[in-house]
Amino acid sequence: MTSPLQAQRRRVLRTLVQAGTASQLASPLAALAQTPTLPPTPACGAPAAATTEQTEGPYFKRSSPLRQSLLEDGMAGERLLLGGRVLDSRCQPVARALLDFWQADATGAYDNRAFRMRGHQFSDASGAFRLDTVIPGLYTGRTRHLHVKLQAPGGRVLTTQLYFPDEPANRGDFIFSPALVMVMRRAASGAVAGFDFVLG
């Protein structure tokens, strides 16, 4: 069941994503910077619910490279730009939060020998982050998803997964959570998505 805070976050992110132009697809956070009158996400005034935790699965690897783009020359797949913020339970931005992403490639395969489709980054002073990647493929038993570990400076680690809206395999995935669905729109140049993390 979607909480009022989650609903507010999704409404604001949906506004940002739908307002995107072809130029904003190259920078999914541009809309946020250009709309200072929008309310913060999630809505403040009460403690915000922390982002749902989920299993890391069998494919996490430590010591991923520092980078915001997982793209490589000749990489197959539909481009995905993911943007959002890392917030605390009081809806304040968390600067220098660690975000460590990993995922399957467009064929549904994980690279367990090297660090293809893996990378970590840190949120900026406003808590913002962006990831340039491709939409992952399916593999047996799972719907499309992205893995991420987050940690505020000196804080505990939050491990979770992000999901794609209107994905047929969501219904049959035993781990899937509606609370972790990204807001997303598609354009000729690829897809742009938004999600705000809340650290408890």
Rounded distance between C-alpha atoms, residue 136 and residue 144, angstroms? 6
Which pLDDT score, from 0 to 100, does residue 47 have?
Answer: 67
Which pLDDT score, from 0 to 100, does residue 24 have?
Answer: 43
Q: What is the pTM of this model?
A: 0.81
pLDDT bucket at 188, cuts 50 / 70 / 90: confident
Backbone angles phi, psi at 43, to 5 degrees: -60, 140
Domain ranges of the chain: 4-199
pLDDT higher than 80, residue 78: yes
Which pLDDT score, from 0 to 100, does residue 108 have?
Answer: 96
Comparing C-alpha atoms, which of 82, 60, 49, 78 is closest to residue 147?
A: 60
CB-based contact 120:98 (threshold 8 Å) = yes
Rounded distance between C-alpha atoms, residue 82 and residue 93, angstroms? 17
Which pLDDT score, from 0 to 100, does residue 32 have?
Answer: 35
Kindly report the CATH class assigned to 4-199. mainly beta
pLDDT bucket at 189, cuts 50 / 70 / 90: confident
Backbone angles phi, psi at 141, to 5 degrees: 90, -5
Comparing C-alpha atoms, which of 149, 129, 162, 148 is closest to residue 32?
A: 129
